[in-house]
Amino acid sequence: MPTLANTGPEKSAETKFSWDYDVPNIPFWSDLQPDSTITIARNFLTCFSKSEVEDMNLDDTLDKDQKLHLLLRLLREKLAAREAQVSPQPLRMVDYSEWQRLMIGIETMQKFLDLPEEEDTLRIIMESGKDGNRNMSGVNMMAAFKEKHGLYMEAETLAREVLPFMQGHEMLGPDSPQAFGTIRTLIRSIWKQGRGEEARDLLKTTSDLIEKMGDGKFRKYQAEERDMLQGVVAELEKWDTLR
């Protein structure tokens, strides 16, 4: 299952999914990005072995941007080293999962640093799926990127492309956090194109689905999904007043 760029919800002892991640309890991570520490830590640390992490000198006196730049440098160095080890074949052909983790880690740091090369990284991921197919994680992240940068029609097209994949995936499904994340991108994109009624219909359908989560395997995420959907409503209503 591809790693999807997405913050990990509140943990539950009863169920732990592959995307849940326990951030190491060390000062380096404590003030990195209050709302995004899980994403940043997971997408970095899963690229390294335990011994590699233990050998790192992560300076907790750095400010947030300095920390992100450090993590980005370490990821780029690891990718370059692995490419050299498997040359003349590209790492993507030798170990696709490792290549994808490293690329998503690099994109994560670029995103939180707001670096212009993020789009190029996303395009490489998106167009470099297995067997000549598109990488759906890349499509999903590119949809969010396009919406963030005001390219709402492109974002809608990409979100509509990836949503059936999310909803039909055996490890995910219609009520998975990943599917709801894509739906939020879709709602924002539709609303900001001036199709408020269509967006409200999708909001209502999504809200109804969230209320049914209590009976499903993703029930531990219900409260967070409810809050995030309400946050989208507040965001879009504010967006309307500022236009």
User: 35 and 89 share a domain?
Assistant: yes
Same domain as 103, residue 191: no
Predicted local confidence at residue 4, as pLDDT:
41
State the pLDDT confidence band at 12, using cuts at 50, 70 and 90.
Answer: very low
What's the rounded mean pLDDT across residues 207-224?
89
Q: Name the pLDDT band for 3 (thresholds 50, 70, 90).
A: very low
Domain boundary among the residues 133, 163, 184 is at: 133
The model's pLDDT over 17-67, given as tens digits with 9 standing for 90+, comes to: 777 777 777 788 877 766 677 788 889 999 998 888 888 888 889 999 999
Kindly state the percentage of the chain with pLDDT values over 70. Answer: 93
Same domain, 21 and 121: yes
Type of residue at 126: M
Q: Please name the residues in contact with 10: beta carbons below 8 A apart, sequence gap of 6 or more.
A: 220, 221, 223, 224
Residue 9, pLDDT score: 41
Using CA atoms, how far residue 197 sits from 32, 58, 144, 174, in Å, is 38, 49, 21, 22
Q: Yes or no: say if 220 and 12 are a contact pair by the CB < 8 Å rule.
A: yes
Residue-level pLDDT at 2 = 38
> Domain range spanning residue 174?
150-243
Residue 10 lies in a domain: yes
pLDDT at 133 over 90: no
201 and 240 both lie in a single domain? yes
Q: Who wins on pLDDT, 20 or 154?
A: 154
We report the CATH number of the domain holding residue 240 as 1.20.58
